[in-house]
Amino acid sequence: MEHSIEYLEKQFQDRIDRGENIEAKDWMPEKYRKTHIRQISQHAHSEIVGMLPEGNWITRAPSLRRKVALLAKVQDEAGHGLYLYSAAETLGISRDELFHQLHTGKAKYSSIFNYPAVTWADMGAIGWLVDGAAIINQVMLTRTSYGPYARAMVRICKEESFHQRQGYEIMITLCNGTEEQKAMAQDALNRWWWPSLMMFGPTDAESTHTEQSMKWKIKRKTNDELRQQFIDITIPQAEFLGLTVPDPDLKWNEERGHYDFGEIDWTEFWQVVKGFGPCNKERLKARNKAWDNGAWVREAALAYSEKQSKESIRKAV
Amino acid sequence: MQDKLYNYLLMLGDNSMILGHRLSELCGHGPSLETDIALTNMSLDLFGQVRSYFQYAAKLKAGDATEDSIAFLRTERNHHNALLVEQPNEDFAHVITRQYFFDQYHLLLLEQLCESKDEQINAIAHKSIKEVKYHHRFSKTWMKRLAQGTRVSHEKMQAAVTSLYPYTEELTKANAVENEMFNQGIGADLASIKSVYYEEVDGLLSNIGLQKPEEGFFYKGGKEGIHTEHFGFILSDFQYMQRTYPNMTW
Ligand SMILES: [Fe+2]
Ligand SMILES: [Fe+2]
């Protein structure tokens, strides 16, 4: 029997309301599929583009131990990209198509990676703040309604919290070091603090996707709630380091049980989102260059495997 | 201090370190996510080996030497890697060819070092050989793929072989330190490695339709600390932090 769309949509929403996971083969509204492709691929792109600012410091890491840890971290991000592209592929889009969207600037990725990593201390600040902010988002996503995405998140979260600790440990070492090292750490915090807060997206009043996303349990908390959670966790960590968070309006609000904080520069946020951050062009250029330079390699691998399978058919006959 | 053993460790460590460095330059820029991850893995393995060799070397040297002072604070003429591993990442064909030429040597070397009388080297070799078997399988498979993939990939591979083959001989040509280490039962017998090495390498090249250069000339000098012009630039990156901010903890 053919069911009407309305009936199917009702069934679908009931399943989500009951807390069931939606799987790749299940019926789903077209908009749910599209929203997920958009969100999962943005997330995947963020992992891949996110390799660039830190990758930039691998060859200059200050000790063998730090070099190995940074290499492993950036490699983990590539792995995250891989799981997430696979999760997106379950929704009927190919990795090549997704790459095409990234390379042509059609797809978005987290704006934070359009800021430059200019000193070694940024390796600490990025791990501590950027991975820290990512975890807040991703822990929520481990319970998202789409099964393959939720499961990818569980794997990824474990590694992200390791990255966060590793970054914080770099900060601790700098803050226990010389005056020069401490100043380097403070400077990194000054530059990464506000962009990290922007990672949670526009305020709830401005956010276009939140309501539908909540209904489908793609999101379970709003941007503002997540941002507040991040601030509340991070301020004591900054205090422990003896660093000053660059926000004169920051103070504990006894009544709310949260920190109050200053106004985010939304003009800067939109400027970076629209492609005019300090490194947007470099990041896309680097991804395009890697992809274009790799074209002959991918073609050769494909041609070789086709020849091999023809050969094995010929032998079998 | 056992000077010869110390220098031998530097040679072993520098090969892994400089190749690891070249591979680390590629992290995030590979032709696909899978190859990116694989190349980074090899870089990680190589740096793991470097740490083992240099921690041991630091103990021999005593004083306040550490794995990092050995890795980061030597000048050009005091690095003893073979010239092959410092060759730049011209393109993926060069990366793979450089890797295979080195892996084939590295594998044969470690097989012998697994028999070393020196307990530490013996242990490091046992751990490393598992990793290097994987590297060797990876680079050899890609040699085949690219040589026999498309016309373009074949040409690029031929160009890489032509330019890198002349760096191979230095790997298996023993210098005074290596001879001494072999005589003491600590180091490998490079003469015996050499014949197997060229059987393997030349065998593979002819199997996959690539020509080795006819001239038969080879470069050398790296082991004695006379490097190519690329080397100073490697050190400027590699040593940047340690040189700019001396005597700090990171
Ligand atoms: Fe990640
Ligand atoms: Fe991470």
pLDDT tens string B93-125: 999 999 999 999 999 999 999 999 999 999 999
pLDDT in tens, B86-98: 999 999 999 999 9
Looking at the DSSP bridge assignments, the partners of residue A259 are: A252
Cα distance between residue A290 and residue A49, in whole Å: 12
How close, in Å, is residue B135 to chain A by CA atoms?
17
B145 in reach of chain A (CB within 8 A):
yes
Q: How remote is the C-alpha of B187 from its chain's centroid?
A: 16
Whether A8 shows a pLDDT value over 60: the answer reads: yes
pLDDT at B2 (0 to 100) = 81
CA B204-B209-B213 angle, 5° bins: 80
Of A112, A97, A124, A138, nearest to A52 (Cα)?
A112
Quick one: chain A helix, strand, coil %, rounded to 5? 70, 5, 25
CB contacts, 8 Å: B21 with chain A: 59
Bridge partners (DSSP) of residue A253 are A258
pLDDT above 90 (res A132)? yes
Which pLDDT band holds residue A213 (cuts at 50, 70, 90)?
confident
Is A24 an interface residue toward B (CB < 8 Å)? no
ipTM above 0.90, yes or no: yes
DSSP state of A94: -
What CATH superfamily classification does B2-244 receive?
Ferritin, core subunit, four-helix bundle (1.20.1260.10)
For A68-98, how does the pLDDT look when each residue is reduced to its tens digit (9 = 90+)?
Answer: 999 999 999 999 999 999 999 999 999 999 9
Beta-carbon separation of B156 and A296 below 8 A: yes
Residues 115-134 of B with CB under 8 A from A: none
Strands A258-260 and A251-253: antiparallel
Average pLDDT on B158-170 reads 98
Q: Is the pLDDT of residue A1 over 70?
A: no
- Helix A295-316 to helix B119-147 angle (10° resolution) is 80
Cβ pair B30:A294 closer than 8 A: yes
* B245–A72 CB contact, under 8 Å: no
- One-letter amino acid identity for B41? N
Please report where in the chains the tokens 């990818």 appear, as a residue. Answer: A152
Per residue in B53-69, pLDDT (tens digit) is: 999 999 999 889 999 99
Which amino acid, residue A28?
Answer: M
CA distance A233 to A222: 17
* CA–CA separation, B104 and B87 (whole Å): 17
Q: For residues B128 and A115, what is the distance between their CA atoms, to the nearest angstrom?
A: 38
User: Which token pair is A186?
Assistant: 């403070």
Statement: residue A202 has pLDDT above 80: yes
Task: Quick: pLDDT tens for B168-185.
Answer: 999 999 999 999 999 999
Dihedral sign computed on CA atoms, order A219, A220, A223, A228: negative
Q: How far is B229 from A74, CA to CA, in rounded Å?
A: 29
**Listed residue (A86, A200, A85, A204) closest to A138, CA to CA:** A200
Cα Rg of chain B (Å, integer): 18
Q: Would you state the structure tokens that stand for residue B128, as one six-digit string?
A: 């490393």
Q: Give A34-77 pLDDT, tens digit per residue.
A: 999 999 999 999 999 999 999 999 999 999 999 999 999 999 99
Q: Is B71 part of the contact surface with chain A (CB cutoff 8 Å)?
A: yes
Using pLDDT thresholds of 50, 70 and 90, give the confidence band for residue A208. Answer: confident
- Do residue B40 and residue A67 have CB atoms under 8 angstroms apart? no
- pLDDT at position A86: 96
User: What pLDDT, on a 0 to 100 scale, did the predictor assign at position A265?
Assistant: 97
% of chain B beyond a pLDDT of 90: 98
Strand partners, A260: A251
CA distance B237 to chain A (A): 5
Is B51 near chain A, with CB under 8 Å?
yes
A214 pLDDT higher than 90: no
* Residue-averaged pLDDT of chain A: 95
Nearest ligand atom owner, CA of A132: 2
Q: Please answer yes or no on whether A304 and B51 come within 8 Å at the CB atom.
A: no
Asked whether the beta carbons of residue A64 and residue B149 sit closer than 8 angstroms, the reply is no
Per DSSP, the three-state class of A29 is coil
Whose tokens are 């958009």? That residue is A38
Distance A232 CA to ligand 1 centre (A): 22
The answer to whether the Cβ–Cβ distance between A72 and B44 falls below 8 Å is: yes
| Phi, psi angles (nearest 5°) of residue A247 | -145, 105
Residue-level pLDDT at B94: 98
Confidence at residue A204, expressed as pLDDT on a 0 to 100 scale: 87
- Torsion-angle region of A275 (φ positive above 0: left; ψ -120 to 50: alpha; else: beta): left
In this complex, is the C-beta atom of A183 within 8 Å of any C-beta atom belonging to chain B?
no
**d(CA A123, ligand 2 centre) in Å:** 11
Task: Give how far Cα B179 sits from Cα of A36, B2, B173, B174, B196, Å.
Answer: 63, 15, 10, 6, 18
Q: Measured between CB atoms, does B156 come within 8 Å of chain A?
A: yes
Question: Confidence band (pLDDT; 50, 70, 90) for A145?
Answer: very high
Q: How far apart are CA B202 and CA B211, in angstroms?
A: 9
Nearest to A278 by CA among A117, A130, A122: A117
Structure confidence at residue A316 (pLDDT): 79
Kindly report the nearest CA distance between residue B147 and chain A, in angstroms. 9
Q: How far is the CA of A165 from the centre of ligand 2 (A)?
A: 10
Which one of A49, A63, A96, A305 makes the best mutation probe of the B interface by having the most chain B beta carbons within 10 Å?
A63
With beta carbons under 8 A apart, name residues in chain B contacting A45: none
pLDDT band at B1 (very low <50, low <70, confident <90, very high): low
Nearest to A296 among B41, B152, B241 (CB): B152
For chain B, give every domain's residue range: 2-244
Element (H, E) at A103: helix A95-103
Query: Minimal Cα distance from B27: which residue of A?
Result: A55
